[in-house]
Structure 1
Amino acid sequence: MVNKSLKKLYTFLIFAFLYAPIIVLIVFSFNSSKSRGVWTGFTLKWYVELFKDAEVLKALYNTLLIAVSSAIISTIIGTFAAIGIYNMNGLGKKVVLNLNYLPVLNPDIVTAVSLMTLFRFLRIEFGFITMLLSHITFCIPYVILSILPKLKQMNKHLAEAAMDLGATPLYALRKVIIPEIMPGIITGGLMAFTLSIDDFVISFFNTGPGVSNLSITIFSMARRGINPVINALSTLMFIGLLGLLLIINKRTDKNQGERGGLI
């Protein structure tokens, strides 16, 4: 009984430690004062100001556009790469897996400077395209690592059985393999999306004039004081992402229930 209570307390403390800063941010997004440490009254003015701040809205637009684009592209590339790696054998598979681990283990600054040097060498003009390409490159390894465990859980003979019954390789991929690994694909896509939104170092080194995402904009604001509008924006982003996760989890549970019913 004591051990069970200690486990619950330990779990509560972990989640309190993780989410207390977010809760404080949400509370102070309704604070009428610009001070981040003193509560002076409830207000919605920062949410109103948010939709009047052209700089923040432009940064938000760039952030979401790059995050969605990089998540979709990196998920597509990562899915096919993971399937290819899974079907490899021997030393070649180990080499490719280790190469995939390197960008994950590398400090972000190394990846950022490397990409910046590559773009300069190729004489690519810095701007939206370079930031998008750098985010795609950064996210692909994480997508691969999210999908590989699902491929290992899958019965590797399913695709072969489908092709023995007359399915083409492409049809077997669409109707057999991808549905089986869909949870991993969704996880990889969400991870790519959140990594792209969160990234600062890679964005900072690979952006160009007139292109700024939220992390760069907030970094610039930090020198003269964070605008409380950022608290309101962060609150809306957190609620939006939380809602997205709940919808995805509900759909995943529903699909698993339907499959269980069929079995």
Structure 2
Amino acid sequence: MKKIAQTALLGSLFFFLYAPILVLVINAFNQSRYGIEWHGFTLKWYQSLWHNHGLMEAMVNSITVGITAATIATMIGTLTAVALFRHQFKGKQIVNSLLFIIISAPDIIFAIALLAVFLLLGMPLGFWSLLIAHITFCLPFVVISVSARLNDFDYRVIEAATDLGATESKIFWKILVPMAFPAILSSWLLSFALSLDDVIISSFITGPNFEILPIKIYSMVKLGVSPEINALTSLILVFSLGMVFGSYILNRYIKEN
């Protein structure tokens, strides 16, 4: 009886998690514009999406910012995590505390703070302000994820490599990066997802001439969910699943070789 209850609870959890996504994907191929009833299979909403220049431009902008922000944040965050792991210095604990403060701070406070800084510096709001903002809020997640991986590493391996004459660059590229690669890869994926998904901070930081997908969709769904949005989100879902599967294959290949 207990096992049946656990199975039912787990099944209910998965149902509430994935049923809305399944409905969204199905409606992307439904001839009915309102998705209440199934009126037949169609690809016209994808054709309509392709000719919707506003949505396509917002999607390209979001992917560009997401990939760039995730890459830069992962590079800086990995180097920061290695520095925190390899060196002892005054204020190290303060740095660690600041990382958690940034993560725990409400997005609205973080957005207002960044907006105030950009206005103080006289920086126009647009692509560059949005990119800096996304790098900033992705960075702590990278540092914490990579640091957690490095802290489980046997430091005696580095000491042995140093005794054998390995330079700092060789230790970094031959030991630390391969060992921390799963965390580095997952940090990049998390950063990309956070950047692509952000609405609150982006709504404060982006300018009127640079529109990204979350804000575009948010403004459109106020009038109802259109089939073009269903088609777009299903494409994003396929793209995200492809990235996860690709990262799994890459991580497995690196482990085997």
Task: Show CA shifts across 1:22-63 (max 9, x none).
Answer: 111111111112214333222111011111110011000100
TM-score (norm 2): 0.94
Quote the residue 2:117 is aligned against: 118
Q: 2:225 aligned with 1:216, yes or no?
A: no
In the alignment, is the contact (CA less than 8 A) between 2:70 and 2:138 conserved in 1?
yes
Query: CA distance change for structure 1 residues 93 and 37 in 2, over 3 Å: closer, same or farther?
Result: farther
2:202 is aligned with 1:203: yes
Distance in structure 2 (CA, Å) of the matches to 1:97 and 1:59: 35
CA contact (8 A) 2:34 2:226 kept: no
Residues 200-237 of structure 1: CA deviation (Å, up to 9, x unaligned):
11111001121010011112212333321111111011
Partner of 2:226: 227
Q: Does 1:58 align with 2:57?
A: yes
Unaligned runs of 5+ in 1: none
What letter matches 2:63 in structure 1?
L
Task: Please tell me the residue identity of whatever aligns with 2:61.
Answer: N
Deviation of 1:91 (Å) = 7.4
Q: Cα offset for 1:104?
A: 0.9
- Kindly provide the amino acid, as one letter, of the partner of residue 200 in structure 2: V
Gaps spanning 5+ residues in structure 2: where?
none
8 Å CA contact 1:25–1:231 kept in 2: the answer is yes
Q: How many Å apart are 1:90 and its aligned residue?
A: 8.3
Shift of 1:182: 0.3
Q: Give 1:1-263 correspondences, 5 Å limit.
A: 2-89=1-88, 92-256=91-255, 258=256
AA paired with 1:194?
A
Q: Is the 8 A contact 1:78 1:140 kept in 2?
A: yes
**Comparing 5-14 with 184-193, which one deviates more in the overlay?**
5-14
Q: What is the CA–CA distance in structure 2 between the aligned matches of 1:227 and 1:159, rounded to whole Å?
A: 56
Deviates more, 1:81-90 or 1:18-27: 81-90
Q: CA RMSD in A?
A: 1.7
Q: Percent identity?
A: 36
| Residues in 2 aligned to 1:178 and 1:130: alpha-carbon distance in whole angstroms | 30
Conservation of the 8 A alpha-carbon contact between 1:33 and 1:39: yes
What amino acid is aligned across from residue 183 of structure 2 in structure 1?
G
Distance in 2, matches of 1:3 and 1:158, equals: 47
Secondary structure class of the residue paired with 1:157: helix
TM-score (norm 1): 0.92
Partner secondary structure for residue 155 of structure 2: coil
> In the aligned structure 2, how far is the partner of 1:181 from the partner of 1:9?
38
Partner Cα distance (1:128, 1:147) in 2 = 28
Deviation at 1:145, TM superposition (A): 1.7
Contact 1:79 1:144 in 2 (8 A): yes
- Give the C-alpha shift of residue 120 in structure 1: 0.2
What amino acid maps onto 1:21 in structure 2?
Answer: P
What is the CA distance between 1:249 and its match in structure 2? 1.7
The one-letter amino acid of 2:74's match is T
Do 1:159 and 1:173's aligned partners in 2 also have CA atoms closer than 8 Å?
no
Bigger shift: 48-57 or 90-99? 90-99
**SS class of match (2:248):** helix
Paired AA for residue 47 in structure 1 = Y
The more displaced of 203-212 and 30-39 is 30-39
C-alpha separation between the residues in 1 aligned to 2:178 and 2:52?
Answer: 43
Q: Distance in 1 between matches of 2:97 and 2:232?
A: 38
Partners of 1:145 and 1:7 in 2: how far apart?
33
